[in-house]
Amino acid sequence: MLPGTETIKPALKERKFTKFFRKGIYVNKELSKNQIIEKKNIIIRRPENKVKPKMYSKLIGRMTKKKMNLNDPIDLKKIY
């Protein structure tokens, strides 16, 4: 085998978490004031913002303080 011909791939453990790297949580549907956040209302996508994907489960069931438009990044100041 010649040097430099072997490909390097992420380990199995790393592959499970690749969807969370450099991503943030965004509004998938328009949310009105005092609306409860559900799984169908938020989405994880790029680019990264202040709210990391590890907060996803903590956001489910919380209420919004202000109206949030489609594709807005989740802002913790707008959530109870």
User: If you search the block for the tokens 């949310």, which residue do you land on?
Assistant: 31
The greatest distance separating any two alpha carbons of the chain, rounded to the nearest whole angstrom, comes to 63
pLDDT less than 50: residues of the chain = none
Per-residue confidence (pLDDT) for residue 70, from 0 to 100: 95
In the chain, where the domains are located: 28-78
Per-residue confidence (pLDDT) for residue 1, from 0 to 100: 55
Q: Token pair for residue 75? A: 């802002």
**14 C-beta neighbours (distance < 10 Å), count:** 10
Per-residue confidence (pLDDT) for residue 33, from 0 to 100: 95
Model-level pTM?
0.73
Which residues, other chains included, contact 60 with Cβ-Cβ below 8 Å and sequence gap of 6+?
Answer: 37, 38, 39
Which DSSP state fits 39?
G
Per-residue confidence (pLDDT) for residue 19, from 0 to 100: 66
